[in-house]
Structure 1
Amino acid sequence: MDASLMGAPSAAAGDNPTSGEHRMGTTIVGVCYDGGVVLAADSRTSTGMYVANRASDKITQLTDNVYICRSGSAADTQVISDYVRYFLHQHTIQLGQPATVKVAANLIRLLAYQNKNMLQAGMIVGGWDKYEGGQIFSVPLGGTILRQPFAIGGSGSSYLYGLLDHEWKEGMSQEEAEKFVVKVVSLAIARDGASGGVVRTVTINADGVSRKFHPGDKLQLWHEELEPQNSLLDILAAGNPDPMVQ
């Protein structure tokens, strides 16, 4: 995987660690369950070696029934999403019905492949349609397209392959799938310095779309992780006479 997708500072950053391109050294996940799909992502965006946005939304709507998880260069993935959203809107008007997940994923793949020398974008497309139900497509750096029962991407993915191989199972319920993706992203946040913040999830099925938000201080703790503590500003605002004592 390209180093820029692993949370490394951009070469263009030079000596100024805040002048790099906005990148999402990221953890993104998509899983199929019995009836639909669940997408999840962390929320940390970095500029060079600094966190530029700790609560960004990396799950973007393409149509009413298709969403995309974005990792890599924030600008690259945003412009791909904008183009594809426009094309799918025109496609829906012409056909008189919603675009399928496969059509959306192939448009993403087409843009990523034709511009592979200029883009740094790894994406997961997930959605539901009446023809094939819930589907997950992975479009990694370079523009390959793979349909998979689950997919992971971003810098945090290197910590997750064993967990997904061991614990993902066919026929999960919606509740099981939602809890599973939050567990997966929380592990990546614990292990990967370029992933962090909150966990956002999007569930897509025949009934529509539901979004959920999981604050960072409510996520599962892993081996030797410390309990969340108030920041120094929170302690001072509370009037604690000794800010170093909880």
Structure 2
Amino acid sequence: MASMLHPSQGSNPYNLKPGEVSSGTTIMAVPFSGGVVLGADSRVSTGTYVANRASDKIAQLTEKIFCCRSGSAADTQALTDYVKFYLQQWEVESGRPATVKVAAHLMRKICYQNKDNLSAGVIVAGWDPVGKGQVYNIPLGGTCIEMKCAIGGSGSTYIYGLTDALYKENMGKQETLDFVKKSISHAMARDGSSGGIIRTCVVTEGEVAREYIPGNKLPYGP
């Protein structure tokens, strides 16, 4: 998996050093009136080779907080493991569930302190009693921005216009879920590094509902 790729001129469009490989993904998270919807494709690629076609890029940090991963699979798996461990400690010491904001800023701190050694762009999203449904985008470098519609990965470059056109504030759960599915399916159709199935996760006060949409049933089209 990878965050946005930046093509450069020349015969090596991704400016790779010998022995390195490029990879890609599409991740997305959108809050709605009662919670958040997270979504991701499932393709893990190394250059032109698909290493895993059914990867799960939505990692659970706490009961109601999740993280969409893009970048180096090894880096983002290590990051989510660290953050999950620290949040468990925080909840034991404080005696209350961690908030989405705490999880996002903990992720931001680790990403920023190790920005020269990590290739990781993540979206932290979830529900808590304080801020309700929230989405924080943490791109390469460790910036942390709360957003109403966060997209990431190489596939996101193909759907900025689509998400700008379709996004509406105060959408309901089903409308938000349909919006996420359609956006990711369009990114998968255009980006060769994104593909497989779509995995989604809906987080509200009363439920955590995960779903997958197989590749032959993607909601691609007008």
Give the structure-1-normalised TM-score.
Answer: 0.83
Where does structure 2 lack aligned partners over 5 or more consecutive residues?
8-12
Q: Matches of 2:140 and 2:119 in 1, distance apart?
A: 6
- Shift of the 158–60 alpha-carbon distance from structure 1 to 2, 3 Å rule, reads same
Residue of structure 1 in register with 2:176 after alignment: 177
Aligned to 1:11: 17
Q: Please show how residues 215-234 of structure 1 align to structure 2 within 5 Å.
A: 215-222=214-221
**In structure 1, how many angstroms separate the alpha carbons of the residues matched to 2:160 and 2:45?**
24
Report the 3-state secondary structure (helix = DSSP H, G, I; strand = E; otherwise coil) of the residue aligned with 2:209.
strand
Q: Distance in 2 between matches of 1:169 and 1:40?
A: 17
Which position in structure 2 is the counterpart of 1:115? 114
Distance (whole Å) between structure 1 residues aligned to residue 23 and residue 73 of structure 2:
6
Q: Which residue of 2 aligns with 1:48?
A: 47
CA distance in 2, matches of 1:221, 1:66: 28
**Letter aligned with residue 39 of structure 2:** A
Q: d(CA) in 2 for partners of 1:197 and 1:125?
A: 22
CA distance in 2: counterparts of 1:8 and 1:57, whole angstroms: 25
SS in 1 for 2:70: strand
Cα shift at 1:208: 2.4
Distance 1:91 1:109, change over 3 A: same
Match of 1:66 in 2: 65
Summarize deviations over 1:49-78 as a string: whole Å, max 9, x none: 200000000000000010000001000000
Structure 1 CA distance for aligned equivalents of residues 14 and 68 of structure 2: 20
Say what the alpha-carbon RMSD is for the aligned residues: 2.0
- 1:72-221 map, 5 Å: 72-221=71-220
Distance 2:61 2:25 in 1: 20
**Cα-to-partner distance string for 1:59-111 (whole Å, 9 max, x where unaligned):** 00000010000001000000000000000000000111110000000011001
- How many residues were matched structurally? 215
- TM-score (normalizing by structure 2): 0.92
Identity of aligned residues (%): 52
Report how far residue 140 of structure 1 moved.
Answer: 0.2
The 1:83/1:24 distance shift into structure 2, 3 A limit, reads farther
Larger radius of gyration: 1
How many angstroms apart in 1 are the aligned matches of 2:87 and 2:131? 18
Unaligned runs of at least 5 residues, structure 1: 15-19, 224-246
CA distance in 1: counterparts of 2:15 and 2:189, whole angstroms: 20
After the TM superposition, which of the residue ranges 78-87 and 164-173 deviates more from structure 2?
164-173
Q: Which has the higher contact order (CA 8 A, sep 6+)?
A: 2
Classify the secondary structure of the residue corresponding to 1:3. Answer: coil
CA distance change for structure 1 residues 38 and 24 in 2, over 3 Å: closer, same or farther? farther
